[in-house]
C-alpha cells in the first residue's frame, strides 16, 4: 500500500521544490516544436516532457483533453506518459475536471484512481458543481488507494465568478462551502489530507478562510498567464506553504530541447522556492 497522497506530495515538494509543470500539448505548441499535429507528434511531445521533467520536478499535470482530442491513440500516449513519469518518481496530477453523479461518478473514479487502471494517476482534478457530495465515490476511492483529488474552488476564468463567488443563505460563498467540505474530509490527516483545492493564482484577493483545509492547493496561472510571486502572496497569504503553483506556457515555450525545458523548469522552481515557506 502506497503512502497517502498528502504525505507523498509533501515529501516531493520538500525534495524537488514547489512547482507543478502543466503538460498541455495544444496544436499550436506541437507546431512550434516542429511536431505534426497527430498522435505521432503527441507521442514525441510526451517523451520529451518525461525526459525533461521526470525525476527533476515534483509534480507534472497533463491536460487530458489535448490527448483525448487524438482519439484512442492519444489516450494511449497519455497512459504511457503517466506510467513513465510515475516510474521516474514524479507525481502526476491528471487534469480531467470530471464531475457527475452516482454510478457515472464511480466509473470516473475507477478510471483515474483505481489500482490497475491504465489511466490511474497520483491525483485528479474534479468539479464539485453537481454538489460536493456527488464526488463521494472518487473521494472514497482516493482515500482507499492513497491517491488524491483536487476540487475546483475558485478558478481564474471570468465566467466562474458568478457561481463560485455567489453567496448562500448562510452568507458564505459557494467557494467557501467547497473549502469547508474539503477541510471536513481532511480532518485529522497528517501531514496533509488527500483532498486538495484548485484556486487560480490570478484571482486576486479572496475572502476564503483556508486555515482548516489541511490539504494542498493547486494554483494554475503562474508565469505566462500573468501571476507573479507577489500575486501568490496576495491570494494565499499564510496558506502559501501548502500551495503548488502550476506553470505550463512559461516553461513549454522553451521546447523541444529537453535540456532547455529542464533549465526553464528549474528557474521557475528556484524562484518559487525563495518565496515558498516550507
Catalytic residues: 97
Consecutive H or E run containing 143:
helix 136-145
Q: Which residues of 22-35 are buried (b: 16+ CB within 10 A; e: fewer)?
A: bbbbbeebbeebeb
| Alpha-carbon distances, residue 231 vs 8, 62, 111, 216 (angstroms) | 27, 24, 35, 18
Q: Is 9 helix (H, G, I), strand (E, B) or coil?
A: helix
Long-range contacts of 25-31 (CB under 8 A, 24+ apart): 25/63, 25/66, 25/67, 26/66, 29/252, 29/255
Q: How far apart are CA 67 and CA 32, in angstroms?
A: 17
Cell of 266: 528549474
Q: Could you tell me which of 72, 71, 77, 73 has the C-alpha nearest to residue 23?
A: 77
Distance CA(198)–CA(151), nearest Å, equals 6
Task: Tell which residue, 245, 213, 215, has the closest CA to residue 232.
Answer: 245
CA–CA separation, 87 and 69 (whole Å): 25
| Cell, residue 154 | 475558485
Amino acid at each position: 500500500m502506497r503512502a497517502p497522497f498528502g504525505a507523498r506530495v509533501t515529501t516531493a515538494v520538500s525534495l524537488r521544490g514547489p512547482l507543478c509543470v502543466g503538460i498541455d500539448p495544444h496544436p499550436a505548441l506541437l507546431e512550434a516544436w516542429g511536431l505534426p499535429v497527430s498522435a505521432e507528434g503527441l507521442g514525441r511531445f510526451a517523451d520529451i516532457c518525461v525526459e525533461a521533467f521526470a525525476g527533476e520536478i515534483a509534480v507534472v499535470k497533463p491536460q487530458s483533453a489535448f490527448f483525448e482530442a487524438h482519439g484512442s491513440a492519444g489516450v494511449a500516449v497519455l497512459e504511457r506518459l503517466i506510467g513513465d513519469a510515475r516510474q521516474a518518481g514524479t507525481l502526476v496530477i491528471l487534469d480531467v475536471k470530471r464531475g457527475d453523479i452516482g454510478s457515472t461518478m464511480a466509473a470516473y473514479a475507477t478510471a483515474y484512481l483505481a489500482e490497475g487502471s491504465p489511466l490511474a494517476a497520483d491525483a485528479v482534478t474534479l468539479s464539485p458543481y453537481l454538489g460536493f457530495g456527488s464526488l463521494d465515490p472518487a473521494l472514497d476511492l482516493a482515500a482507499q488507494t492513497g491517491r488524491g483529488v483536487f476540487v475546483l474552488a475558485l478558478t481564474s476564468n471570468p465566467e466562474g465568478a458568478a457561481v463560485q463567488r455567489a453567496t448562500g443563505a448562510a452568507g458564505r460563498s459557494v467557494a467557501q462551502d467547497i473549502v469547508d467540505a474539503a477541510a471536513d474530509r481532511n480532518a485529522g490527516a497528517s501531514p496533509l489530507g488527500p483532498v486538495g483545492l484548485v484556486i487560480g493564482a490570478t484571482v486576486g484577493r479572496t475572502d476564503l478562510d483556508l486555515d482548516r483545509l489541511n490539504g494542498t492547493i493547486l494554483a494554475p496561472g503562474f508565469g505566462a498567464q500573468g501571476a507573479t510571486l507577489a500575486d501568490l502572496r496576495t491570494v494565499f497569504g499564510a496558506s502559501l506553504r501548502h500551495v503548488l503553483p502550476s506553470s505550463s506556457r512559461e516553461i513549454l515555450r522553451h521546447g523541444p530541447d529537453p535540456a532547455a525545458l529542464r533549465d526553464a523548469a528549474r528557474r521557475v522552481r528556484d524562484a518559487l522556492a525563495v518565496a515558498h515557506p516550507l
